[in-house]
Structure 1
Amino acid sequence: MPSVIDLYNSRVASGKIKPDEAQTAVLPEFERLRADLAQPVKRGFFRRSVEAPKGLYLWGGVGRGKSMLMDLFVETLDVPARRVHFHAFMQEVQGRIHTLRGEGAEDPIKPVAKEISDSVRLLAFDEMQITDIADAMIVGRLFEALFEGGTTVVTTSNRVPNDLYKDGLNRQLFLPFIDLLKERMVVRELASERDHRQDRLAGTQVYFSPANAAARTQIDTLWEELTHGQEEPLTLHVKGREVELPRYHNGVARADFFDLCGRMLGPADYLKLAESVRVLILENIPQLSRRNFNEARRFVTLIDTLYEARVKLIASAAAQPEMLYVEGEGSFEFERTASRLREMQAADWAVEAG
């Protein structure tokens, strides 16, 4: 397998990625970890006798290339590894804990951790961010058991470890987990000044009308460029409810109009969405009128929220913004939404986001 540095340089040479000094500065950490994991593991009778290599916690602003570097690293590995979005992983863990408790297990965290450690040597998490108290209360014991089981962890995050679960309920109970991360992982900031995600969208068409097969093909191309063909669902926790985005990767979400505006969602849901993504692809916006007034009202709220949060929008719609809502209650007020949709198409719009 090639080294992480060689693979990065080959992608630069092919034009697939742009060189970035901040990115190259952290490549030796990935290469150190790749080399450590390549060493054979001697197993004792009861447990692994060799401590797992120290992991990596890579944090920094959105669009700086954290997930891309982690994906390159995973690509070079020749050991059992799993790359997963952190929220998706924690949902799986919570579900498995619930199942084991139903089967009578008094302390299901250890067997869950053992199942994971027995299946992989490396866990690569995208976007570690802890906002749910249920996750906050189990991650410490879970990760301690994973580390003891010989599992190495690499994660990306928009937050420095000390800011995880900031202002969360009973946060003092969470603080030992932060200490554990700093003990078992090298913490590095990816301090690039460039948002490569915005670079890829600069000057690119982001509003497609009509929403036909040609529009979908163009959006598919943008999705591939932004996600490198990887995706997973993302579940947002909002006031005890769950809102699922079926397609997500590295701060980019893709949904149909009716996924977000055809359901009973409101401002809190859209605020959570805007906090969780930096690019939203919204497809198949229909013609709006008094016949679908509730959907139109939610769409206005969604666009206002994305606009205020400076989230980049890629959309396909039945008509140009000014012609989306031409009759019925609320059509006059929709002029502001149309104006915002036009502004959000500008090449430099949201370039300072994140």
Structure 2
Amino acid sequence: MSDTLPELYEARVRDGSLQPDPAQRAALPEFERIRAELDAPRKGGLFRKAPPPPKGLYLWGGVGRGKSMLMDLFVESLDVPARRVHFHSFMQEVQQGVHRERQKGTEDPIKPVAKRVSDSVKLFAFDEMQITDIADAMIVGRLFEKLFDAGCVVVTTSNRVPDDLYKDGLNRQLFLPFIDILKERMVVQELAAERDFRQGRMAGTETYFTPNDAEARQAIEDIWQQISGGDDAPKELTVQGRTVELPRYANGAARARFYDLCGKALGAADYLKIAEEVDILVLENVPSLGRGNFNEAKRFVTLIDALYEAGTQLIVSAAASPDYLYVEGPGAFEFERTASRLIEMQSDEWGQAVPKKKTEP
């Protein structure tokens, strides 16, 4: 018999790879419930239907509390086919599939897309569920309904309670049935850990320079010279038939200004491609963010999510420290997670503990 989730967790605590936390321990029984039910035989008899799949889990809470770590530990323990993917990446994949089906004239384009993604997987583990795009909001309800009908189990993390998803979004009333589906088919549990496990990892080599002054510019230039050897050139990436240009590229590293990447109409697909192709990104002149540059700030959040998920090294010059980069405006709540990730990405452990990985297709 496989180890239970509580046993795996305690083993990691004993070997020092995890620090014990009461709130994390309190979340383990729900993960273990799903693991045990998925492991149990599910075939029906001649006159008996197979039992329904277990309810999934929607684990929400503040940034840096260990939600993603617990989900990864859970996926590691499973003996059934599972897919762990960042929610941004998954929805980008779905949008592309729906677009292809519409081009073919498919009457219900969501149906074949849902079938393809669910055919070989019993469990989906989505990291950082958030809905900010109206295109995602309009299809996610029907998509998840079909995944659940296909017998898939869904586990997801989020920094928002379900009722706050797509809050104040355009045509939100059309999105509300999706929230009802989540609460019906998943157990909603808060991870209310008191400690942010990312805060204590800032040390060693400086990779975040503030404010944007002559000293920061020189520090960035010195780093770039070490990386590039003084020899770089623009690099063009092709994303869905479009060209995205990185102004300077050398030895697997790219250098760009904030407005090169966030001041243009780029989206998740572009940032995922950059994160896939680049091992180090040097990003200069990140301004203070808020109501006045809200669209640029949203793109910056998406960019950091893509870099974080891919394990990309990030070197930044910015107008303020992460915690004070976005202090007012409608996106301030969502930016708490981005600030936490920016802090974690400065740590010595980031390069070793988060190996570069490819994004989902």
Deviation at 1:139, TM superposition (A): 0.7
Q: 1:272 aligns with which of 268, 280, 298?
A: 298
1:99–1:237: structure 2 CA closer, same or farther, 3 Å change rule? Answer: farther
Contact 1:247 1:255 in 2 (8 A): no
Aligned to 1:303: 319
RMSD of aligned residue pairs (Cα, Å): 3.6
**Contact persistence 1:38–1:79 (CA under 8 A):** yes
**Does 2:112 match 1:96?**
no
2:61 maps to 60
User: What's the TM-score once normalised by structure 1's chain length?
Assistant: 0.67
Partners of 1:165 and 1:141 lie apart in 2 by 16
- What's the CA shift string for 1:265-302, capped at 9, x where partnerless? x944652255455989523x7xxxxxxxxxxxxx5xx4
- Relative to structure 1, the CA distance from residue 125 to residue 24 in structure 2 (aligned partners, 3 Å threshold; closer, same or farther) is same
Q: Give the secondary structure class of the aligned counterpart of 2:319.
A: helix
- How do 1:20-169 and structure 2 match up within 5 A? 20-42=21-43, 49-169=50-170
Task: Give 5+ residue unaligned stretches, structure 1.
Answer: 217-235, 286-298, 317-354
Q: What secondary structure does 1:107 align onto?
A: coil
Please say if 1:257 is aligned against 2:258.
no
- Poorly superposed stretches of 4+, deviation over 6 Å: 212-216, 236-239
Tell me how far 1:308 sits from its aligned partner. 2.1
Instruction: Tell me if the contact between 1:124 and 1:153 (Cα under 8 Å) persists in the aligned partners.
Output: yes
> How far off is 1:38 after superposition?
0.6
Residues 139/207 of structure 1: CA separation in 2 closer, same or farther (3 Å cut): closer
Give percent identity, aligned residues only. Answer: 56
Shift of 1:40: 2.7
**Any residues of structure 2 matched to 1:196-275 within 5 Å, and which?**
196-201=197-202, 203-207=203-207, 211=223, 241-242=266-267, 243-244=270-271, 255-257=280-282, 267-268=293-294, 270-272=296-298, 275=301
- Whether contact under 8 Å (1:63, 1:196) holds in the other structure is yes
Residue 188 to residue 237, structure 1, CA distance change in 2 (3 Å):
farther
SS of residue paired to 2:64: coil
Output the TM-score relative to the length of structure 2: 0.66
Counterpart of 2:351 in structure 1 is none
Alignment check: 8 A CA contact 2:285 2:319 kept: no
Question: Cα offset for 1:6?
Answer: 1.1
Amino acid aligned to 1:271: A
Cα pair 1:246 1:254 within 8 Å, conserved: no
Letter of the 1:303 counterpart: A
